[in-house]
Amino acid sequence: MRHNTIRYKILYLGPSGERGREWCTVTSHESGDRTLRALCEMDDTELLRDVTYSVDRSWHPKDCFIRVRLQERFVGSGWFRFAGTLAECETLTAAEGRLHQAIALEAPPVSFINHAVACDVWHWAGIDLDPGRHQVCRPVPACSPLPNGASGPTLSLWPLPVVFRGRERITTRAGVFDCLRATYLTAGGEPSLDTWCTDDPDRIMVKMEWPPFRSTFELVELSR
């Protein structure tokens, strides 16, 4: 096969220890396209999410499939496609039934929030690496407006203010990594989610800290 494959596992950690996990398999292709398959489990909220998400060489979304169960009940199964400024969604949700959505965006989307934490470091792939300067990733469609993504999946928009912090060396159970660091901000400009990803073409999530939800996310296994 011509593609390359990376496999990794991320742990979700709370004050009481492990509260979930995410298994990821990423294939990267000659065209520059990349597909991530993520299986996400959150123990405390009893959330199970499947994501299969493809991006182009610039990390811009191409298509995505998301299936969500919450407390062992079906929440939804949805398919998203992005073409130029068009974002569309075909979905079946327990709450809304069968929906078709099409949104004309102000510009081609720079990313798509599918709620796999592995992709939270992909959203800011296109920002200027200019430490300290506030920037906004937009437009960024999302599959759910909830912090844990436990709704829909349906289309909405979610602007992402972010600030690049610089380069740092981070140690996790998976090893020592040279990282890029960026922090997402609230609408009021306060730090919200701190993120570190590998400073290489693969943008693997190494660590995230999310103080409002007392959560840390850590890369614990990596095979590439």
Partner 1 sequence: MQHRSYRYKINYVGPKGERGRERCVVTVHGDGDRTIRALCEMDDSQVLRDVTYTVDRHWRPRDAFVRLSVADRFMGSSWFRFDGNRAECEAFTAAEGRLSQRLVLERAPASFVTHPVACDVWHFAGIDRTLGDQIQESLSASCSPLPNGASGPMLGISRHRFRYRGRQRTRSPAGTFDTEHAEFVGRDGVVRLKAWCTIHDRILVRMEFEPLQSVYELVELEGSAG
Closest distance between partner 1 and the C-beta of residue 89, in Å?
10
Which residues share a beta bridge with 50? 39, 67
| Chain residues in the site for partner 1 (CB under 8 A) | 1-3, 23, 25, 27, 29-31, 33, 35, 37, 39, 41, 43, 46, 48, 50, 52, 54, 62-63, 65, 67, 69, 71-74, 77-79, 81, 90, 92, 98
Who's near 54: CB < 8 A, 6+ residues apart? 33, 34, 35, 36, 61, 62, 63, 64
Please identify, using beta-carbon distances, which residue of 23 and 158 lies nearer to partner 1: 23
Q: Select 37 or 138, whichever has its Cβ closest to partner 1.
A: 37
Nearer to partner 1, 74 or 213 (CB): 74
Return d(Cα 114, Cα 96) in angstroms, integer.
Answer: 19
What's the closest the beta carbon of residue 154 comes to partner 1, in angstroms?
Answer: 14
Rounded CA-CA distance 21/41 in Å is 5
Burial 96-115 (b: 16+ CB within 10 A, else e): eeebebeeebeebbbbbbbb
Least distance to partner 1, CB of residue 2, Å: 5
- Of 34 and 181, the one with the shorter C-beta distance to partner 1 is 34
Least distance (Å) from partner 1 to the CB of residue 151? 17
Shortest Cβ distance from residue 182 to partner 1 (Å)?
29
Q: How far is the CB of 188 from partner 1 (least distance, A)?
A: 35
Nearer to partner 1, 91 or 156 (CB): 91
Contact yes or no for 202/183 (Cβ under 8 A): no
By the 10 Å C-beta count (0-12 exposed, 13-18 middle, 19+ buried), 88 is classed as: middle
Q: Which is nearer to partner 1, 39 or 220 (CB)?
A: 39
Sign of CA dihedral 206, 155, 146, 191: positive
